[in-house]
């Protein structure tokens, strides 16, 4: 089971200055909604922005059944 804090910490570590909001949508630790605003997204397309977040989550992604992601430049 993954906690929202696990997700937040991984993203904050990989993307300096990121503002991260994580909601566990079922309370079961496997469906999440994540919003990330990061300065590092500037000049990048949505695909690259999402890839940066997936990369930050790394092996956690295998434990997460569903992750809905919104990214923006901060």
Cβ of residue 68: shortest distance to another protein, in angstroms?
6
Residue 56 C-beta-side C-alpha neighbours within 13 Å: 23
In the complex, minimum distance from the CB of residue 70 to another protein, in angstroms, rounded to a whole number: 7
Q: Sign of torsion, CA 9 36 66 4? A: positive
CB-based contact 44:51 (threshold 8 Å): no
Contacts to another protein from residues 37-66, by CB under 8 A:
46-47, 50-51, 54, 61, 66
Q: Identify the three-state secondary structure at position 53.
A: helix
Tell me how far, at minimum, the Cβ of 45 lies from another protein, in Å.
9
Closer residue to another protein in complex, CB, 13/68: 68
For binding to another protein (CB under 8 A), which residues are involved? 46-47, 50-51, 54, 61, 66-70
């Amino acid at each position: 089971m993954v906690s929202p804090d696990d997700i937040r910490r991984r993203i904050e570590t990989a993307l300096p200055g990121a503002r991260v909001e994580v909601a566990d949508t079922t309370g079961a630790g496997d469906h999440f909604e994540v919003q990330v605003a990061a300065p590092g997204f500037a000049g990048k397309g949505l695909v690259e922005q999402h890839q940066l977040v997936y990369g930050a989550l790394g092996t956690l992604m295998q434990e997460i059944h569903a992750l809905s992601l919104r990214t923006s430049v901060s």
